[in-house]
C-alpha cells in the first residue's frame, strides 16, 4: 500500500537518490534547474510516496516569478521509482500536490515535461506562448495550469528566479 505524506528532512537523501535514478546527472544542465539553485522548494508543497518504509515517489514545487512580479510555482521534479511506474503513484502525487497548491492560495503552475502525461492534470501549452525562459526549452514541453480560473489568461514575460517581495521592491536582481 502506498502512502502519501509531506516531505520530511530525513527524506532528503532518499529523494536525491530517487531523482538521480529517474533523471540522471544531466538534469542539472536544464534551464529549469537554474530556478532551484539557491532557492528552497515550497516546504508545504513537497510530498513523498512510501510503500511501507521504502520511498517510491517524490514531488516538489518551487517559487518563481513571471515578468518580475507575478508569483507562480514551478512543478518538478516528479519522480517515481522506475520499477513502480504505471502504478498511479505519480498521478496520486500530482493530484495531491495540485489540490494542496490550490488550497494554499497558489494561482499558477508552470512545468517543463511530457505533454501527453501532464495534459490529464489540466496543463496546456497555449499559456506559455507568451512566456520565456532564460535558456533553451523544448516549447512542446513548456506547460502551464491555472489553479484559479483565468490566472494564466494573457500571461506574458520572462520566468525568473523567485525573490522575496522586499527584495523585489528594492529592485534586487
What is the average pLDDT value for the chain, to the nearest integer? 90
Domains, the chain: 2-170 (3.40.630.30)
Residue 2 has pLDDT above 60, yes or no: yes
Tell me, yes or no, if the pTM score tops 0.75.
Answer: yes
Average pLDDT over residues 136-140: 92
Dump pLDDT digits (tens) for 158-171: 998 887 767 766 76
C-alpha cell at 142: 513548456
Dump pLDDT digits (tens) for 73-130: 999 899 999 998 889 999 999 999 999 999 999 999 999 999 999 999 999 999 999 9
C-alpha cell at 126: 497555449
Residue 80 DSSP one-character state: E
Q: Which of 112, 116, 108 is nearest to 154 (CA)?
A: 108
Which pLDDT does position 32 carry in this prediction? Answer: 72
| Adjacent-strand bridge partners of 80 | 57
Dump pLDDT digits (tens) for 6-61: 999 999 999 989 888 877 767 656 767 777 878 889 999 999 999 999 999 999 99
Amino acid at each position: 500500500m502506498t502512502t502519501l505524506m509531506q516531505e520530511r528532512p530525513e527524506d532528503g537523501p532518499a529523494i536525491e537518490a530517487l531523482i538521480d535514478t529517474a533523471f540522471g546527472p544531466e538534469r542539472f544542465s536544464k534551464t529549469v534547474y537554474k530556478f532551484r539553485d539557491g532557492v528552497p522548494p515550497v516546504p508545504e508543497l513537497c510530498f513523498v510516496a512510501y510503500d511501507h518504509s521504502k520511498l517510491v515517489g517524490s514531488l516538489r514545487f518551487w517559487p518563481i516569478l513571471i515578468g518580475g512580479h507575478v508569483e507562480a510555482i514551478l512543478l518538478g521534479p516528479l519522480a517515481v521509482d522506475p520499477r513502480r511506474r504505471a502504478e498511479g503513484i505519480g498521478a496520486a502525487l500530482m493530484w495531491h500536490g495540485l489540490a494542496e497548491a490550490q488550497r494554499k492560495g497558489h494561482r499558477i503552475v508552470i512545468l517543463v515535461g511530457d505533454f501527453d502525461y501532464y495534459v490529464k492534470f489540466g496543463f496546456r501549452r497555449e499559456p506559455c506562448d507568451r512566456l520565456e525562459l532564460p535558456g533553451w526549452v523544448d516549447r512542446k514541453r513548456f506547460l502551464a495550469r491555472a489553479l484559479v480560473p483565468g490566472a494564466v489568461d494573457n500571461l506574458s514575460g520572462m520566468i525568473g528566479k523567485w525573490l522575496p517581495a522586499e527584495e523585489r521592491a528594492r529592485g534586487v536582481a
